[in-house]
Amino acid sequence: MDRDPRVCVVGEDVGHYGGSYKVTKDLANKFGDLRVLDTPIAENSFTGMAIGAAMTGLRPVIEGMNMGFLLLAFNQISNNCGMLHYTSGGQFTIPVVIRGPGGVGRNLGAEHSQRLESYFQSIPGIQMVACSTPYNAKGLMKAAIRSENPVILFEHVLLYNLKETIPDEEYVLSLEEAEMVRPGEHITILTYSRMRYHVMQAAKTLVNKGYDPEVIDIRSLKPFDLYTIGNSIKKTHRVLIVEECMRTGGIGASLTAAINENFNDYLDAPVKCLSSQDVPTPYAGTLEEWTVVQPAQIVTAVEQLCQ
């Protein structure tokens, strides 16, 4: 916002309250109430307003206080945000960032535990990225704000307390590149967001059992970085996808299809995908844990694939 006066933030409680997870803390004091705009509880209205502002030259960052609330703005995100560049014959660009907390955790119940990447992945004209560390959260956010395309940035409710030393100097990450988290030889494990940490926990157990997994945080949910993914598959010949998204119609399903279409000849075993169960997320903590993939399940899946 210091760098570009066109950047503004729009959403519920983003101003003096600092956001529901304090992502916009103190920004209102620094940039004023017009550039950090508190809105009524009306997602369709303020999302449409921000898209209109983008059409006239601003670069809005829209916060959904909880990603589940953005379903109320689905029409604006789909029919306006994703399509106006095309339907206007290129007269308008929509440099909008839509971001907010989502995912399973904190006993928030079914309506506040949504994973909307499966909903939004089929919208033409929209890019999707998911951050998993403080380093890539900053780098992807800056890249999304500077992009001329509409970008949805998925944050996870359980990752806001992570701490990490990040560079003082300027850096911007690519919106279309995966991250090699752990090189390995025996199997490629593809994951993103919170599941990165479940995978790395499982990887410690797998190494002790003699396996050498390669772990990739795909980060870019649309489009996939098939170059990085493909090079890994050509080396390991086995793939396990671990996601928190729903199994039916999720990111894992799309990624499985892309791998089978592009790298089928390199596979020594069918692609296996571990996903959340197709049920509303329970409020009770123990039941909530049972609906998402746990490290022990990842270990078992790798052992089966590497037999």
Neighbours of 289 (CB within 10 A): 12
Domain final position from 156, 171, 192: 156
- Compute, in degrees rounded to 10, the torsion defined by CA atoms 43, 47, 49, 55: -170
- Per-residue confidence (pLDDT) for residue 91, from 0 to 100: 96
d(CA 62, CA 226): 29
CATH number at residue 64: 3.40.50.970
Asked if residue 173 is part of any domain, the answer here is no
128 shares its domain with 201: no
d(CA 38, CA 20): 12
Tokens 């649309």 belong to residue:
222
- Per-residue confidence (pLDDT) for residue 125, from 0 to 100: 95
Residue 263: name the closest of 243, 245, 236 by CA. Answer: 236
Asked if residue 283 is part of any domain, the answer here is yes
275 shares its domain with 152: no
Residue 117: name the closest of 160, 61, 71 by CA. Answer: 71
101 shares its domain with 213: no
CATH number at residue 223: 3.40.50.920
Residue 180 is inside which H or E element, if any?
strand 179-182
Residue 11 pLDDT class (50, 70, 90 cuts):
very high
Beta-bridged to residue 239, according to DSSP, are 188
182-205 pLDDT tens trace: 999 999 999 999 999 999 999 999
Residues 6+ apart with CB under 8 A from 223: 127, 176
Q: How many domains does the chain have?
A: 2
Q: Can you give the residue range of the structural domain that contains 36?
A: 7-156
Q: 32-35 contacts: CB < 8 A, separation 24 or more?
A: 34/8, 35/1, 35/7, 35/8, 35/9
11 shares its domain with 144: yes
184 shares its domain with 107: no
212 shares its domain with 95: no
Neighbours of 158 (CB within 10 A): 15
146 shares its domain with 201: no
22 shares its domain with 150: yes
Asked if residue 164 is part of any domain, the answer here is no
Rounded to an integer, the average pLDDT of 63-90 is 95
55-72 pLDDT tens trace: 999 999 999 999 999 999
The active-site residue, picked from 12, 85, 112, 186, is 112
Domain final position from 101, 124, 156: 156
Taking all residues of the chain, what is their mean pLDDT, rounded to a whole number? 96
Residue 220 pLDDT class (50, 70, 90 cuts):
very high
Structure tokens at 63: 């916060």
Whether the Cβ atoms of residue 38 and residue 15 lie closer than 8 Å to each other: yes
Asked if residue 165 is part of any domain, the answer here is no
- Per-residue confidence (pLDDT) for residue 299, from 0 to 100: 98
144 shares its domain with 246: no
Displacement of CA 110 from its chain's centroid (Å): 19
Q: What is the DSSP letter of 191?
A: E
Asked if residue 163 is part of any domain, the answer here is no
For residue 223, whether the previous peptide bond is cis, meaning omega lies within 30 degrees of 0, is yes
Asked if residue 16 is part of any domain, the answer here is yes
Residue 184: name the closest of 240, 146, 145, 243 by CA. Answer: 240
Neighbours of 1 (CB within 10 A): 16
Pairing of strands 97-102, 151-156: parallel
Which stretches does DSSP call E strand in the chain? 7-11, 36-38, 59-63, 97-102, 127-130, 151-156, 179-182, 187-191, 213-217, 220-222, 239-246, 272-276
d(CA 121, CA 192): 15
- Per-residue confidence (pLDDT) for residue 214, from 0 to 100: 98
Beta-bridged to residue 189, according to DSSP, are 215, 240
- Per-residue confidence (pLDDT) for residue 53, from 0 to 100: 97
d(CA 159, CA 169): 23
- Per-residue confidence (pLDDT) for residue 275, from 0 to 100: 97
d(CA 189, CA 180): 10
Rounded to an integer, the average pLDDT of 146-154 is 97
Asked if residue 171 is part of any domain, the answer here is no
Rounded to an integer, the average pLDDT of 134-142 is 98
Q: How many residues does the chain have?
A: 307
Neighbours of 76 (CB within 10 A): 24
In the residue annotation, 43 being an active-site residue is answered as yes
Rounded to an integer, the average pLDDT of 223-248 is 97
279 shares its domain with 145: no
Asked if residue 170 is part of any domain, the answer here is no
Residue 181: name the closest of 153, 226, 232, 216 by CA. Answer: 216
130 shares its domain with 236: no
133 shares its domain with 245: no
